[in-house]
Amino acid sequence: MYQGFEVIDFHAHFPTNQPWFTEMGTTVQSYIAKVGEKRAALVREMSQPYGEQWRRMWDFPKPDPKEAHPGDEEQARRWSEDLKANGIRAIGFVTGGGNEHLSEICSWYPDQFVGFAHHSPFLPDAVEKLDHAVRVLGLRGYKLLAPMIEEPIEDESIWPVWEKCAELDIPVLIHFGIQGGAGGIAWHENINPFKLHNIAKAFPDVTFVIPHFGCAWERETLQLCWACPNVSVDTSGSLQWIRWVPGDVTVKYLYRKFYETVGPSRIIFGTDSSWFPRGFALRYLQDQVRDCLDLGMPDEHIQMILAGNAARLLKIDLSA
């Protein structure tokens, strides 16, 4: 519990010692193949000061170096203890080294960890993989990073994937907007949330969630929510993209705007947490609860945002 509220973190990434986004997409690999590793590394180097500034702003430590990874079992133990220490009921890991690997990790702490399938919908066996991930592996959602997928995501050839999501009754979390930290992806075939319009219209029985309040595409996300009542947003991350859009946008403004337009049942709390030694990004929870209280939201609406909506989508019994 936090200030009397149950909390479920809908959106986090398990910091596995394996590649996080296996079978998700090929955008990054295609970019490196096109320009070469030297130039790709130069972009990362030139963008590094922004990452350092971001950590200073939030007083976050540097992530553990790759060579210091303690192994996934120890990493899972650290996460479990961190959730208990911060009073977090459960966490949704939206990536974790592939469906099978993440399923195993979640099986170690089934009362705390919930996993999402995270493979490209354009794989030849995408539908079968999704069915297996949910029915056999026990994963409870589907996560995609649209700017990492080369093919246009609205392509009707993959509509059987959305049909399977409806059949399985699972939420679909799709990242649109800018991707990664500074130096990441700012333009791509699948970057605009409007790409989801025809899909969401065709499958109103599927709940689609756009993370990070639209990640610099908040206008499009709001209009999409107006057109498609089965589209929700999550609040995850530091939301530092607000520094890169015109106007004096704040996290509090985003909460007010979405609360006034889509209501509390379509706003879902998340942190985008992953690496240690930071672990669960408590600062995000503290700041967002403060903003909700400052906006005068009743406690029952704040509880919906912090846990109720996630519990409904991920089938977590809050009364247990």
Give helix then strand counts, H and E, for the chain: 12, 8
The rounded distance, in Å, linking the Cα atoms of 293 and 269 is 14
- In this structure, which amino acid lies at residue 150? E
pLDDT at residue 183 in the model:
84
Domains with residue ranges and CATH for the chain: 8-314 (3.20.20.140)
Residue 150: the pLDDT is: 93
pLDDT of residue 106: 98
Convert the pLDDT of each residue in 251-263 to its tens digit. Answer: 999 999 999 999 9
Cis amide bond preceding 277, omega within 30 = yes
Which among 5, 107, 83, 9 has a CA at the least distance from the CA of 310?
Answer: 9
Confidence (pLDDT) at 20: 74
Full-model pTM: 0.96
65-75: pLDDT as tens digits = 988 999 999 99
Low-confidence ranges of the chain (pLDDT < 70): none
